[in-house]
Amino acid sequence: MHNELTELLPALRRFAFSLTGQMADADDLLQNTVEKLLAKPAPNDVPLAKWAFRVCRNQWIDDYRAQKTRHTAAQSPELTEGQIVDGERAMEQKMTLDRVNRAMETLPDEQRSIIALVCLQGLAYKDVAEILSIPMGTVMSRLARARAALVNTLDTPAERITA
Per-residue model confidence (pLDDT) at position 161: 46
Q: Which conformational region is residue 156 in: left (phi greater than 0), alpha (psi within -120 to 50 degrees), or beta?
A: beta
Decide if 118 contacts 125 (C-beta within 8 A).
Answer: yes
Among 149, 158, 153, 67, CA closest to 110: 149
Per-residue model confidence (pLDDT) at position 78: 45
Task: Reply yes or no on whether the pLDDT at 44 is more than 70.
Answer: yes
Q: HEC profile for 49-96? A: HHHHHHHHHHHHHHHHHHHCCCCCCCCCCCCCCCCCCCHHHHHHHHHH
Per-residue model confidence (pLDDT) at position 68: 56
Least confident span in 36-40, 80-84, 91-95, 109-113 = 80-84
Higher pLDDT, residue 101 or 65 = 101
Q: Spell out the domains of the chain, with CATH numbers in brackets.
A: 2-67 (1.10.1740), 87-162 (1.10.10.10)
